[in-house]
Each structure stands twice: as structure tokens, then as C-alpha cells.
């Protein structure tokens, strides 16, 4: 689409992003122009229209919140009962008569309210008219780490231990205000035909003891798990093999965003079709859920190495 501009709108005192813009384009324009970002996702080709209205999360979300936490306004083409299309602008201002329409685009998703054409972003509490001060600044550098566990050694009990460890750490660290806000991680529970289960983690490298934050996290995830983790030598779901991230390397934030986003061989395959379901968990998954994941991910009648549960 040509509706892909990213620019500062002085009338709204906010950064405007047209709904056809892709995530990486938003990162590039915001960061290179004003040194700011929104905590959006890792898949560079995703359009912001659906990503934002669904809530929007990515590797900066534990540090900066969801994308919609920074959503100031939305422009939507709505169709009335008489079939007439009208353009409505809704903001988070308390006196905005269309505020409910803005609220409906802060995570509801589903596309039931109209066709989004523009978003405006300004963080709550931001003041002044300088766009460089209206949205959060990403870390100058990050640690990017990837590791994996072989399915050949993953029993049902070991699988449950890994998933529970992941959930328990996030439940314990659900409240902000600690050094662990600077870490975000994704656990890839692939179908066994992929060969491995993977973990990708990003840490703000500019905070004190960033490596210790990562080491302590990995210690918590692997506690009681008698399966050695290895470099991630195979693709995980939609992300590429990344054995070089076992280090982990320290790299500029935008380089890391580009690396994670553009090296995904699955999403870059033009013949590929996919289907996704998602939900937010506030605490560790129930054992019954984990057991069902294990049952389906170890099925012999299904051979699909790209099938996965992303936690």
C-alpha cells in the first residue's frame, strides 16, 4: 500500500503512522528521524493496522509496555446503519466524544469497528512539541541471546518443567520496577519434527550488570531441567537459526531489530500460508494446558516443523 508514511503531525502533537506501514519501516523512520520508537513486534513485514489494534507487543514490551500504551489517536472509516461511510478521528482525550472508538483499538482487534487509516502515537505524560521527547527511546545497544533444547531428550516431565519455569519467572516478575524490566524473552515450543525447542532473549545492554540479568534469567529457566541447552542451529517457528547468538553478542538496537525481523525464512517464503491464535496469560499456564501442548506437539500424524506455540 502507498498509505505507509510516518511523520510528525503538529496538529495532534503526535507521530502519525499510516495504517499500511510495515513494522520495520516504522522503526527505521522513528529511530533515524527522532531517536524514538514504539515497542512493536519482530516480524518486519507486519502492517501496523492489525498489529496495533490487536494490542501490539515485541522485545521492548517489558521495558516500555504494549504499543497501545502509547496510542494517542486513531482515524477510522466507519459505515453507519444507512450504509454511508464516514471518517472518524478518536483520541484518548477524556472529553473526546469518540473516545470509546479509540479505546476499542487498544487491544480489541477483530476488525469490527471500521477500516483504520492512521494512528497517532504520543506517550502518556509526554510534554512539549519536540517529537524526540514524545515517545520512548530504545536502548542504544542490546544483548541478543538464543539457545535451544533437543526434542530427542525432552520427556513430558522435562517439557512441563521448562514451560513452568518460564511461566513462573514471568509471574514472579509481572510487576514493573525491577532490573528484570530490561529483559524480554520468547519461548518457541516447536513441533518435535523441528528437532528443537528454542528461547530468544533480549536485554538492554546499557543497564548495569546486563549480562548478570541474562545469566540469572537463564538459570531460572533451566532450574531442575536435566537437559543441556545448545546453540540454536535450526529455525524456530518463524525465526531463523541463530547459533551466533549463543555468546551473546552486543549490538545496536536497530541492528538487532533488523536482524531478528529480516532473517525469518518462514515469513519470507512467498508460498507460505499461516494461521495464528493468541491469548494473554497473567500467570503460569495450568498443567492441563501444558499437557495438551505436549500432546499436540509430539503427535506422529502431524509433521510440520513450523508448527509451534510461541510463549
Q: What is the pLDDT of residues 23-67, one digit of tens each?
A: 999 999 999 999 999 999 888 788 888 888 877 789 999 999 999
H/E stretch holding 188 reads: strand 183-190
Q: How far apart are CA 110 and CA 59, in angstroms?
A: 23
> Domain of 94?
6-133
Is 185 found in the same domain as 63? no
pLDDT attached to residue 51 = 84
pLDDT attached to residue 270 = 76
Is 151 found in the same domain as 231? yes
Is residue 111 over pLDDT 70? Answer: no
Within-domain flag for 1 = no
Residues whose CB is less than 8 angstroms from the CB of residue 27 and which lie 6 or more positions away in sequence, other chains included: 37, 40, 254, 257, 258
What are the backbone angles phi and psi of residue 161, rounded to the nearest 5°?
-60, -45
pTM of the predicted model, to two decimals? 0.92
Is residue 128 over pLDDT 90? Answer: yes
| Tally of structural domains, the chain | 2
pLDDT attached to residue 97 = 97
Q: What CATH number has the domain bearing residue 274?
A: 3.40.462.20
172 in helix, strand or coil?
helix
Q: What CATH number has the domain bearing residue 58?
A: 3.30.465.10
Q: What single string gives the DSSP state of each residue in 250-296? A: EEEHHHHHHHHHH--TTTT-TT----------SSPPPHHHHHHHHHH
211-236 confidence digits (pLDDT tens)? 999 999 999 999 999 999 999 998 88
Is 113 found in the same domain as 207? no
Q: Which of 88-97, 174-183, 197-206, 230-239 has the lowest mean pLDDT?
A: 230-239
Question: Between residues 263 and 134, which one has the greater pLDDT?
Answer: 134
* Residue 2 contacts residue 20 (beta carbons within 8 Å): yes
Is 148 found in the same domain as 93? no
Is residue 126 over pLDDT 90? Answer: yes
Is 193 found in the same domain as 126? no
Question: Between residues 237 and 85, which one has the greater pLDDT?
Answer: 85
Q: Read off the pLDDT band of 302 (50, 70, 90).
A: confident
3 in helix, strand or coil?
coil
Q: Read off the pLDDT band of 305 (50, 70, 90).
A: confident
Q: Which of 185, 189, 201 is nearest to 154 (CA)?
A: 189
Amino acid at each position: 500500500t502507498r498509505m505507509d508514511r510516518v511523520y510528525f503531525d503538529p496538529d495532534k502533537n503526535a507521530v502519525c503512522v499510516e495504517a499500511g506501514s510495515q513494522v520495520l519501516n516504522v522503526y527505521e523512520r522513528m529511530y533515524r528521524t527522532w531517536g524514538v520508537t514504539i515497542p512493536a513486534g519482530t516480524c518486519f513485514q507486519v502492517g501496523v493496522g492489525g498489529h496495533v489494534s490487536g494490542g501490539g507487543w515485541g522485545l521492548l514490551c517489558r521495558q516500555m509496555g504494549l504499543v497501545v500504551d502509547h496510542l494517542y489517536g486513531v482515524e477510522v472509516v466507519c459505515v453507519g446503519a444507512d450504509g454511508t461511510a464516514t471518517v472518524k478521528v478518536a483520541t484518548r482525550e477524556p472529553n473526546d466524544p469518540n473516545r470509546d472508538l479509540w479505546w476499542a483499538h487498544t487491544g480489541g482487534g477483530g476488525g469490527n469497528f471500521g477500516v483504520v487509516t492512521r494512528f497517532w502515537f504520543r506517550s502518556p505524560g509526554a510534554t512539549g512539541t519536540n517529537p524526540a521527547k514524545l515517545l520512548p527511546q530504545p536502548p542504544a545497544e542490546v544483548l541478543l541471546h538464543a539457545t535451544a533444547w533437543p526434542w530427542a531428550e525432552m520427556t513430558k516431565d522435562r517439557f512441563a518443567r521448562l514451560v513452568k519455569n518460564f511461566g513462573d519467572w514471568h509471574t514472579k516478575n509481572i510487576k514493573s520496577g525491577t532490573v528484570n524490566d530490561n529483559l524480554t524473552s520468547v519461548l518457541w515450543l516447536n513441533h518435535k519434527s523441528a528437532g528443537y525447542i528454542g528461547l530468544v532473549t533480549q536485554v538492554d545492554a546499557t543497564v548495569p550488570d546486563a549480562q548478570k540479568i541474562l545469566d540469572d534469567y537463564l538459570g531460572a529457566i533451566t532450574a531442575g531441567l536435566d537437559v543441556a541447552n545448545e546453540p540454536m542451529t535450526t529455525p524456530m517457528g518463524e525465526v531463523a537459526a541463530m547459533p551466533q547468538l549463543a555468546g551473546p553478542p552486543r549490538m545496536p538496537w536497530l541492528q538487532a531489530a533488523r536482524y531478528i525481523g529480516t532473517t525469518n525464512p518462514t515469513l519470507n517464503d512467498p508460498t507460505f500460508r499461516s494461521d495464528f491464535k493468541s491469548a494473554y496469560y497473567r500467570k503460569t499456564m495450568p498443567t492441563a494446558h501444558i499437557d495438551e501442548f505436549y500432546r499436540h506437539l509430539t503427535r506422529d500424524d502431524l509433521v510440520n516443523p513450523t508448527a509451534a506455540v510461541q510463549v
